[in-house]
């Protein structure tokens, strides 16, 4: 459990960060959030928060779509996060959850003319998906939300009812994770992570117009693949059966990190185990997030004074 939270404009003991049952966002799903990881590097005795600014820039975009006005810049929210992490003083991998929400205690569905608030908490977290080296996934019978329903580009709390439907179906049927198709029948993403396939050495991932969340990890993987691993990368729509015949496939996201897909709908992907391309991406990703790659040091914000 977290020891503190940023709440009502200041850091307070976690038990004091409570909202009313009438809170608009609790009743109607009118909030936007982020998920950020901070990685403990034992050698450096340092906690590195990964890519704070892109996460807070996306939060501001989500807020723009949801008409939530925050009195903070992305840089100010990053600074608040570091301050909170310092108070938490964890010496282990930590998950950070910023949440911007409609805080009015009022009945009535709308976005305008309501009060907004912002909170952050942070809690230790290991793996999100146990089988990161080879997850068994299924294609969900639930469809991904559409930009004209609840825009997936915005990380809206209410839209996670959709994610929960697909994830629950997968778990109850004995799978580790669900892949969702969009309304056109193309692959969108996992329940809470983006998806890549590898075919003939080429990395392929669905474009934003496939109703994905524009993931920070996705952008990170695209950059590492192009600049450091010399891989050809293509953003285009992907059919369901392309996933069946892919050489390798993986999920990526802040929570799931980079997780290989072993099978889809009980069909093994490639050799059905961690493949060479995904292995290279994972190894580099884990070095980068722990602050071990000088070129990307600016992505890793040290929390503690040297
Ligand atoms: N898609 C969805 C639906 C998600 O919830 C997440 C997790 N935030 C992602 C993709 C991956 O995004 P990121 O890499 O920014 O964590």
**Residue to probe by mutation, ligand 1, list 178, 253, 289, 299, most atoms within 8 Å of CB:** 253
Backbone angles phi, psi at 42, to 5 degrees: -65, -40
Backbone angles phi, psi at 293, to 5 degrees: -115, 110
Token pair, residue 59, equals: 């939060």
pLDDT at residue 8 is higher than 90 = yes
Find out whether the beta carbon of 217 lies less than 6 Å from any atom of ligand 1. yes
**Residue to probe by mutation, ligand 1, list 59, 95, 166, 192, most atoms within 8 Å of CB:** 192
Find out whether the beta carbon of 35 lies less than 6 Å from any atom of ligand 1. yes
User: What confidence tens digit (pLDDT) does each residue in 66-103 have?
Assistant: 999 999 999 999 999 999 999 999 999 999 999 999 99
Q: What is the CA radius of gyration of the chain?
A: 19
> pTM to 2 decimals?
0.98
Architecture of domain 135-289: Alpha-Beta Barrel (3.20)
Ranges assigned E (strand) in the chain: 4-7, 10-13, 31-33, 36-41, 46-50, 94-102, 116-124, 135-143, 177-181, 187-190, 194-199, 202-205, 233-235, 248-253, 257-264, 267-268, 300-302
Domain range summary for the chain, segments of one domain joined by +: 4-124, 135-289
Nearest CA to ligand 1 atom 4: 192
- What is the spatial distance between Cα 238 and Cα 251, in angstroms, rounded to a whole number? 14
Mean pLDDT, rounded, for 29-52 = 98
Residue indicated by tokens 């939530």: 68
Number of Cα atoms under 13 Å in the Cβ half of residue 203: 23
Token pair, residue 40, equals: 């403990």
Please give the distance, rounded to the nearest whole angstrom, from the Cα atom of residue 27 to the centre of ligand 1: 23
Backbone angles phi, psi at 231, to 5 degrees: -95, 145
Backbone angles phi, psi at 280, to 5 degrees: -65, -45
User: What confidence tens digit (pLDDT) does each residue in 221-279 have?
Assistant: 999 999 999 999 999 999 999 999 999 999 999 999 999 999 999 999 999 999 999 99
Annotated catalytic residue 102: no
Find out whether the beta carbon of 253 lies less than 6 Å from any atom of ligand 1. yes
Question: Cα 286 vs. chain centroid, distance in angstroms?
Answer: 16
Catalytic hit among 155, 167, 273, 306? 155
CATH says 4-124 is which class? Answer: alpha beta
Please give the distance, rounded to the nearest whole angstrom, from the Cα atom of residue 30 to the centre of ligand 1: 18
Average pLDDT, the chain: 98
Find out whether the beta carbon of 193 lies less than 6 Å from any atom of ligand 1. yes
Find out whether the beta carbon of 192 lies less than 6 Å from any atom of ligand 1. yes
pLDDT at residue 306 is higher than 90 = no
Number of other residues whose CB lies within 10 A of the CB of residue 283: 11
- What is the spatial distance between Cα 129 and Cα 107, in angstroms, rounded to a whole number? 38
**Residue to probe by mutation, ligand 1, list 31, 34, 35, 99, most atoms within 8 Å of CB:** 35
For residues 188 and 210, the answer to whether their CB atoms sit within 8 Å is yes
Mean pLDDT, rounded, for 6-22 = 98
- What is the spatial distance between Cα 60 and Cα 34, in angstroms, rounded to a whole number? 10
Give percent of the chain above pLDDT 70: 100
How far apart, in Å, are the Cα atoms of 192 and each of 40, 86, 122, 245?
A: 23, 28, 19, 23
User: What confidence tens digit (pLDDT) does each residue in 98-146 have?
Assistant: 999 999 999 999 999 999 999 999 999 999 999 999 999 999 999 999 9
Backbone angles phi, psi at 219, to 5 degrees: -65, -40
Backbone angles phi, psi at 161, to 5 degrees: -65, -40
């Amino acid at each position: 459990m977290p020891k503190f939270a940023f709440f009502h404009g200041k850091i307070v003991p976690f038990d004091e960060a409570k909202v009313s049952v009438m809170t608009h966002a609790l009743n109607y799903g009118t909030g936007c959030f982020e998920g950020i990881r901070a990685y403990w590097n034992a050698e450096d005795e340092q906690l590195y928060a990964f890519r704070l600014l892109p996460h807070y820039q996306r939060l501001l975009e989500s807020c723009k779509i949801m008409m939530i006005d925050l009195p903070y810049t992305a840089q100010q929210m990053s600074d608040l996060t570091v301050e909170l992490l310092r108070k938490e003083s964890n010496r282990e991998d930590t998950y950070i959850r910023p949440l911007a929400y409609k805080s009015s205690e009022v009945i009535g569905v709308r976005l305008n003319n309501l009060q907004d608030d912002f909170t952050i908490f942070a809690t230790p977290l290991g793996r999100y998906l146990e089988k990161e080296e080879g997850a068994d996934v299924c294609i969900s019978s639930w469809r991904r939300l559409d930009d004209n329903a609840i825009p997936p580009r915005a990380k809206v709390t209410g839209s996670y009812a959709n994610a929960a439907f697909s994830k629950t179906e997968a778990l109850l049927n004995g799978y580790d994770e669900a892949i969702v198709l969009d309304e056109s029948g193309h692959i969108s993403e996992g329940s809470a992570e983006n998806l890549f396939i590898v075919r003939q050495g080429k990395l392929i991932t669905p474009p934003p117009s496939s109703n994905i969340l524009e993931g920070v990890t996705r952008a990170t993987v695209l950059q590492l693949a192009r600049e450091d691993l010399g891989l050809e990368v293509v953003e285009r729509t992907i059919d369901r059966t392309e996933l069946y015949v892919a050489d390798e496939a993986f999920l990526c996201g802040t929570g799931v990190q980079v997780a290989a897909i072993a099978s889809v709908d009980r069909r093994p992907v490639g050799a059905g185990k961690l493949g060479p391309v995904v292995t290279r991406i994972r190894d580099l990703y884990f070095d980068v997030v722990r602050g071990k790659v000088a070129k990307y040091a600016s992505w890793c914000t040290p929390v503690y004074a040297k």
